Structure 1
Amino acid sequence: MTVGIIDYGCGNLFSLRSSFSRIGARATVTSDKAELIKCDRIVLPGVGAFPEAMQKLNGAELVGTVRDMAAGTPLLGICLGMQMLFDRSSEFGECDGLGMIKGNVVPLDCAAVGLKVPQMGWNALKIDKGCPLFKYTRNGDYVYFVHSYHAVNCGESVTATVDYGGDVTAAVSCGHVFGTQFHPEKSGEVGLNILRAFTEL
């Protein structure tokens, strides 16, 4: 079993590969479509700004590959990679996403309750429903976040939230497509268990 980590210039690629290695999974970092198609799982990482990331993914001619593969291959979007799965984002103006999960990405608005943006640090998961990604995860387990935007209007796709001035979408799933707003590769044993569950889908 091989995990393909998509290299399009916007992600924590090598820390992710190291995390998969720690759980005994073979992971390859690549931007080559032919190599990605051979993978049994694919991961879309992401750090930075939504429009730039979408531009780079388009520039690497990987948008079609990601959409086509996700029809039958488990896909995990992480942080900005999760946000890109939605219809659009308002970061630096309206920008279309991959449209693989219904919903929009908007700024965190926590100033009224005295919370800082970005949300940076550990927070406790509230798992909303049975999701195979949380096979080894319990309500209240802590995971690591770094983000200024969050997904809204995503309805039944939400599988976990965290409390940050109100419920904030922490994880989603729709068919073969999964997303985590937090970074499993930075979330210690809890994060490794989530990656382990992803490889077992």
Structure 2
Amino acid sequence: MIAIIDYGAGNTANVKNAFTRLGAETMVSSNPKLWEKADGLILPGVGSFGAAMQRIEQNSSELASLIKQKPFLGICLGMQLMFEKSEESQGVSGLGIINGSVKKFNGDLPVPHTGWNLVSISDATLLDGISDFYAYFVHSYYCEPADKRLTMATTNYGKKFPSIIARKNILLTQFHPEKSGESGLLLLKNFIKEVRK
């Protein structure tokens, strides 16, 4: 069972539908006790960093602890919340599981960065059969990890930014794999394999 964490700002229905199509059992829940029973966790997200952290604040310590123990997938805002802070919400701390911060795109670029863009794989070891592909993005901020070795793939929008970050049991995507065609679904299949190990 995979728990899709519901904190009132996630794109939970589309994510759940994608996993259902792939034959994975999921539940959407805001209850940390149910997260604990799950074999894997997904943190989706659409919205602002500050508002999202405010919603998950009361469960943030339990969530941070579980993320370190189980296969975890963070999507879009769910990826950004794993960092220490964001320029979107000054003074608001993220979950801080990945050292680094979330930055705003250069002011000359139209934001949000919306639509299909190339994901260039730089380290395929954790991506099992996935090569460069086009994925669907909707975001105005990008992640900058302190440890550049965590970046598995990059995308160019005015500058190169990490579009996939991975560390041990944690997989983070700035794009929406559930909306990114066959390659996006293959990435989700790989996550399901990790959960079932």
Task: Give the TM interval when normalised to the shorter protein.
Answer: over 0.9
* 8 Å CA contact 1:101, 1:157 repeated in 2: no
- Identify the residue that residue 143 of structure 2 maps to in structure 1: 151
Correspondence 1:183 to 2:176: yes
Q: Verify the 8 A CA contact 1:110 1:164 in the aligned structure 2.
A: no
Question: Which residue of structure 2 aligns with residue 117 of structure 1?
Answer: 111
CA RMSD, 1 decimal: 1.3
Superposed displacement of residue 110, structure 1: 5.9
| 1:200–1:110 Cα change, 3 Å | farther
1:169 matched to 2:162? The reply is: yes
Q: Report how many residues are paired.
A: 193
In structure 1, the partner of 2:97 is 100
Find the residue that maps to 1:126 and give its secondary structure: strand
Deviations 1:151-186 (A, max 9, x none): 124322111111111211101112212210000111
Quick one: distance in 2 between partners of 1:51 and 1:101? 17
Q: Contact (CA 8 Å) 2:124, 2:131: kept in 1 or not?
A: no
Unaligned runs of 5+ in 1: none
Using the TM superposition, give the Cα deviation of residue 71 of structure 1 relative to its aligned residue in structure 2, in angstroms.
2.1
TM-score by length of 2: 0.93
Gaps of 5+ in 2: none
Identity score, percent = 38
Task: Quickly say closer, same or farther: Cα 1:130–1:136, change in 2 above 3 A.
Answer: closer
What SS does structure 2 have at the residue aligned with 1:125? strand
| Partner residue in 2 for 1:136 | 129
Per the normalisation by structure 1, the TM-score is 0.91
Query: Quick one: which amino acid aligns to residue 28 of structure 1?
Result: M
Q: Check if 1:72 corresponds to 2:63.
A: no
Task: Tell me whether 1:83 sits opposite 2:77 in the alignment.
Answer: no
Aligned to 1:63: 60
Q: CA deviation at 1:94?
A: 3.2
